[in-house]
Amino acid sequence: MARGVYIHIPFCHQICNYCDFNKVFFKNQPVDEYIEALGREMELTVEQMPEAFVNVETIFLGGGTPTALSATQIEKLLALIAKHIPLSNVKEFSSEANPDELTVEKLQALFNGGVNRLSMGVQSFDQDLLKKIGRTHSNEHVYRTIQNAKDVGFTNISIDLMYGLPGQTMEQWRHTLEKALALKLPHYSAYSLIVEPKTIFYIQYAKGKLNLPTEDLEADMYGVLMDTMEAHGVHQYEISNFAHEGFESTHNKIYWDNDEYAGFGAGAHGYLRGVRYSNVAPIKKYIELVMEGHRPLLQEHSVTKDEKLEEQMFLGLRKSAGVTHGEFEQKFGQSMASVYGETIPKLQREGLLETDAQGVRLTRKGRFVGNEVFQRFLIEDE
């Protein structure tokens, strides 16, 4: 049963140098036809498995950039969502946004259409770094857009930050955190740069032209992030996410709880009825399949019992609360100790995990090497 719905908008007015998500330049794209196709995909999927959508808690508009759409297109999209997805139990309705294209008109369209949470891609408050990573907004755009959002009625606003950027110094990172926290927002996300294939940065990296911080400096930046957020009363509830009490991202928690969600749009991923699936990515192919009455599936994979066990640990350990014994036993009918009776004690001895009567979680040391810890929970390794 889907707890959440993810809807992918693959259009951007500017392509960031680090982004590997399915996206295209907005100009000359069949945007209106794509929105119609989204509505049709939602209709087809809900018709096929209506029971999966009776308790949807969250909706998330991602991209690409949902705010690349015009206010009229946003209104059309939100009307189609309301038409095809049961909204009676939705608590959180989020949209990603770029600060320099989120006009008052678009903010009003989002708010009137039910969106109650904004996630803005700010990344840095250093203008030179913003240019290096391909961002087009200024600090003034950020300040003005946040104020406009508050004036429209938004109270749940988050911004994304990045560290480990090319040429970034600790001084620049501290400055960005200072400026971000001065905004007194309820939620912050902060991610280290990962150089992904098929990105501008990857090409530069392959040519030896990408001046990245050392691993030690990047780790120090993460440590400063955790300490600075804590000092300002913004608690860390996941490896990369920080919030004031009551403003944690419900939608992202669905992923970390390893629960099911629907994914709509070109290149979107979903997890329904025990099956992980992905949609075709080319926009014209996606539109063609959907308008012919087909779900636009590229591939499907029925998740095995072992994979579910592994994913419960990989994803759940991202949360500061970790994985509780109760939720593990409720899902799988067996204890964590019966599955990971060797792995967990070893990681404890190495200072990477801590356990108690409630469950298992990463230590501070473990957060710095999370991916290495997660790999240890592969069943074949156990």
Please write the tens of the pLDDT for every residue from 337-350.
999 999 999 999 99
C-alpha span between 334 and 133 (Å, rounded): 47
Residue 249 has pLDDT above 60, yes or no: yes
Q: Answer yes or no: are the C-beta atoms of 364 and 353 closer than 8 Å.
A: no
Residue 45 has pLDDT above 60, yes or no: yes
The per-residue pLDDT of the chain, averaged, comes to: 93
- pTM exceeding the 0.85 threshold for the entire prediction: yes
C-alpha span between 236 and 352 (Å, rounded): 17
Spatial CA neighbour of 145 closest among 171, 161, 122, 115: 122
Residue 186 pLDDT level (bands cut at 50, 70, 90):
very high
At residue 134, the pLDDT reads 84
Mean pLDDT of 17-24: 59
Spatial CA neighbour of 10 closest among 298, 265, 299: 265
Residue 131 has pLDDT above 80, yes or no: yes
Residue 198 has pLDDT above 90, yes or no: no
Residue 382 pLDDT level (bands cut at 50, 70, 90):
very low
* Domains of the chain with bracketed CATH: 4-256 (3.80.30.20), 306-375 (1.10.10.920)
Q: Which residue reads 């490896």 in tokens?
A: 239
Mean pLDDT of 240-263: 97
pLDDT greater at residue 211 or residue 305: 305
Residue 371 has pLDDT above 90, yes or no: yes
In DSSP notation, 231-273 reads HTT-EEEETTEEE-TT-S-HHHHHHHTT--EEEESTT-EEEET
